[in-house]
Amino acid sequence: KNEVEQSPQNLTAQEGEFITINCSYSVGISALHWLQQHPGGGIVSLFMLSSGKKKHGRLIATINIQEKHSSLHITASHPRDSAVYICAVSTKGNYQLIWGAGTKLIIKP
């Protein structure tokens, strides 16, 4: 079993829909990251969470430490949001990241 599990693996939605991507982990963490990877491969860090909730524009990330679960939400989705969204956790004691497999999101106009 992977230490970081993401769901769904693939998601296609219509423009304007509310999007939720889930991430569960099984290790002790110091932080959880949500990242966005565009087709060119470059990775952008969206959020780093250790508790609670963060919001940036149309993106919202939440984490429940007790349940070892995090969600990334996109409100009013747009075709430019189409990308792979990756959940990664920083394990306690070091800075290494354990990566989820990613969720490929396609937003259709």
Partner 1 sequence: GAVVSQHPSRVICKSGTSVKIECRSLDFQATTMFWYRQFPKQSLMLMATSNEGSKATYEQGVEKDKFLINHASLTLSTLTVTSAHPEDSSFYICSAGPRNQPQHFGDGTRLSIL
**Between residues 13 and 31, which has the closer beta carbon with respect to partner 1?**
31
Which whole-number Å values give the CA distances from 99 to 34, 57, 75, in the listed order? 10, 24, 24
Q: Is the Cβ–Cβ distance between 27 and 89 less than 8 Å?
A: yes
Give the position of tokens 């569960």.
Answer: 24
Q: Which positions from 11 through 30 interact with partner 1, judged by CB under 8 A?
A: none
Q: In the set 63, 85, 102, 103, which binds partner 1 (CB under 8 A)? A: 102
Where on the chain is the footprint of partner 1 (CB under 8 A)?
A: 31, 33, 35, 41-45, 48, 86, 88, 90, 95-97, 99-102
